Each structure stands twice: as C-alpha cells, then as structure tokens.
Amino acid sequence: MKITKEEILENLDQVKKYISEIDNKPKIEEGTKHWFIDGGNQKGYTFWNNDNFDKERLANHNVYLKEANCNKQVAKNEALNKIKTFIKDNFEEFVPDWEVEDENKYSIYYDYKDEEWRIEYNRYCRELTLLPFLKSEKQAEQLVKDCKKELDILIK
C-alpha cells in the first residue's frame, strides 16, 4: 500500500495538533486562581495571565489548581528539609564510591504491604532517592526512629 503525499501531510497536521495539545496541558483559563510555592517554601496565589511567570511556574511543576495540593507539597518540602538537616547534623558526610562494590550503601524505603519503613543495603545498584545514602545500618535505623513523622509525610 502506497501512501500519497497528501495523506502524509494530513497525518503530519494531526500529529502537530496532538503534540500542541500535549505541550499546552493543562489548559488553564485566563483569570483562574492558582497556588504556587516561592523560594522560601511559602505558599502564594495569583491569577492565571498566561504570561512568562505563569508559563515558567507551569514548566517547573509549580502550579497548583487546588490549595490543598499546594499545602501538601509545602509540607513535603518541609519534611524533606528536616530529614536532610537531621542527617547533616547527626552523621558524618558519606559519599558513596560506586566503583567499590564491597562498600555498603544504606537507604530506606517504605514497604506498603507491611506498612513500615525498611532499610536496604546496596553495593552496586545506583538508585534515585530523595535522601542521601547512609554509611551504616545503625544510621538508617536512627533516621527512621527520629524522623518517622517526616518520612511518613513524604510518602502520603
């Protein structure tokens, strides 16, 4: 089956329209109240003008059409900051050496089935995590014990 030039151009127009719809989502009407988080982790609100400020916030996933969603993200940011401060204040800095396979690198994860925090050691699988790796299982246990409230906020 041979496709004509006209059919290709018609399909191309449909693809361009589809891409445009994806790029412009969510479609926010002019004047829509929305919330954002400023550099100091403070919630603010404004009205959609479709200007560069709005587009930049949207591109950085910092537009919340529901105030409750913005509040939730502010709480997560605060919790993450408290946890990272706890790690910095209580443990020596640990930078994993991924070239050394027999060096244990500890992280924590939440087991939804058992509804509890677990500790995992890792030697050679580099993961993307919100929190830094820890040097020992004891540090990981201490982190879970002392920061459970903040950890729970991060997963909800």
Give residue 23's pLDDT: 59
Give residue 60's pLDDT: 92
Give residue 8's pLDDT: 66
Give residue 132's pLDDT: 87
pLDDT tens-place values along the chain, 156 residues long = 566 667 666 666 666 665 655 555 568 999 999 999 999 999 999 999 999 999 999 999 999 999 999 999 999 999 999 999 999 999 998 988 888 888 888 999 999 999 999 998 887 677 767 888 899 999 999 999 999 999 999 988
Q: Is 156 helix (H, G, I), strand (E, B) or coil?
A: coil
First-residue to last-residue Cα distance in the chain: 53
Cα dist from 15 to 9, 19, 98, whole Å? 10, 6, 43
Domain spans, the chain: 5-65, 76-155
Nearest to 46 by CA among 24, 28, 73, 59: 28
Q: Is 111 helix (H, G, I), strand (E, B) or coil?
A: strand
Give residue 21's pLDDT: 55
In whole angstroms, what is the distance from residue 141 CA to residue 130 CA? 17
Give residue 129's pLDDT: 79
Task: Confirm if 82 and 149 have CB atoms less than 8 A apart.
Answer: no
77-101 tens-digit pLDDT: 999 999 999 999 999 989 888 888 8
